[in-house]
Amino acid sequence: MSEMEQPKWYILHTYSGYEAMVKDSLEKLIENNKLGDYIVDLKIPMEQVIEEKNGKKKVVERKLLPCYVFIKMIYTNQIWYYVTSTRGVTGFCGPQGRPVPMKEEEIRKMRLEEFVSDVDFAIGDTVSIEDGPLKGFLGTIKELNNSAQKAKIATTMFGRNTDVEVEYIQIKKVDAPLPETTADAE
């Protein structure tokens, strides 16, 4: 490997239900063949959703895009061969099964990487949750964690005052203050 190029994100298509097995197999392939310099990261994007079962609501994780695994790698013919030979992989997303790197806005939207952004949030600000399972909820910021890019929000959920942790990119500042019941979530 003379001059190393930057790894890029690609999309792998898998058989239904094989996503975790493909990820595990690729992790073993990386370890056994010392490919850590070529295959940098593997992700199966998950989302949290609220499901109701037997009258009880709970938050569960499910695959955001079933049948897809995201892989950050340096593309070479040898790496392409290793990856496409993995059990459960049907191929890369791209023309004739050749990978096409993802664009930066696609990477942001899928939250494959953490992007540090300047935020103007402060403790006590009223925010609206714009993305995720709690989309549409309003709350008040109780804590900010700039290193993790997360905020602890006091909100009302199922008639109870609840603290939730969300990423900065999921919330938007709102000008109007909240009604008294939500703001008193101490």
Question: For residues 151 and 143, is the Cβ–Cβ distance under 8 A?
Answer: yes
Q: Provide CB contacts within 8 A for 88, sequence distance 6+.
A: 14, 15, 18, 21, 22, 25
**So what's the pLDDT on residue 175?**
78
Reported confidence tier of residue 73, pLDDT bands at 50, 70, 90: very high
pLDDT at 54 > cutoff 50? yes
Fold of 8-110: Alpha-Beta Plaits (3.30.70)
> Per-residue pLDDT averaged across 46-70, rounded?
87
Secondary structure of 16-66 as H, E, C letters: CCCHHHHHHHHHHHHHHHCCCCCEEEEECCEEEEEEEECCEEEEEEEECCC
What residues does 41 pair with on adjacent strands?
Answer: 72
Q: Return the CATH number of the domain spanning residue range 126-183.
A: 2.30.30.30
Give the range with max mean pLDDT: 53-57, 66-70, 127-131. Answer: 66-70
pLDDT at 183 > cutoff 50? no
> Max alpha carbon distance in the chain (Å)?
63
Considering only residues 12 and 113, tell me which one the structure prediction assigns the higher pLDDT: 12
> Per-residue pLDDT averaged across 134-161, rounded?
85
Domain-wise residue ranges, the chain: 8-110, 126-183
| Cα–Cα dist 65/71, whole Å | 14
Reported confidence tier of residue 3, pLDDT bands at 50, 70, 90: very low
Give the range with max mean pLDDT: 12-16, 47-51, 120-124, 143-147. Answer: 12-16
**So what's the pLDDT on residue 117?**
58
What is the residue-averaged pLDDT of the chain? 84
